[in-house]
Structure 1
Amino acid sequence: MKEVRLKFENCEFANLDEMAATLLNEANERIVLIDLGEIENTREERNYVKFRLMHLERSFRGEIYEGYRSIYNSLWSQLYRLEHQGNDSNPYLKNLLERLRSAVF
């Protein structure tokens, strides 16, 4: 039987279903708050969501259960959307784009 991690940050969970429901709900709430403009679409806020989704994936050992898969995939999609709407970008990619724009062809 696969060993699962039933702890995240300072919270301990009775079972994997409880942890999945909590982490998915927290991730969804943060995405909604960003969409509503109540919190800024910053890398730190997106990381709040990303860390919960990544922890959930590790806890499921890379195979999200069928009951959670559609919600999990939807949250990742929303997170990618927010990343593309955000004003910050990867510093390396930003530097490359600036160099390409300044290059004379």
Structure 2
Amino acid sequence: MIDKSKVAVIIGGLTASSDEVTALAFKGRSNTVFIGEKTMGKTTSNMVVTLPFDAIMPLSTGYDCDRNGIYYKQIPPDVIISKQDNFDDLLQDKNIQEAIQFFNKKIIS
């Protein structure tokens, strides 16, 4: 039953790195909507390489993709909402309002 539950993922330009990988885990899932703006585009797998003379270098070794093997340079929203955040009153935040509307819609199987 939980795999059929609705999920709203709010993303934006500051959604990066591990946040994007977490969002990607939901991409392609049914009853899931992405709301907001494109993510930053830092979906890489990284490691630290030790170099001579005690130098180190972060190295990107791969790109992360969604459950269907699709890679996104930036994760796009399904519903675009830009610059209508309200961190002081979340019920006035347009992203939150869109998520509430999504949750209130009846699931069509």
Give the structure-1-normalised TM-score: 0.27
- Name the one with the larger helix percent: 1
TM-score, normalised by the number of residues in structure 2: 0.26
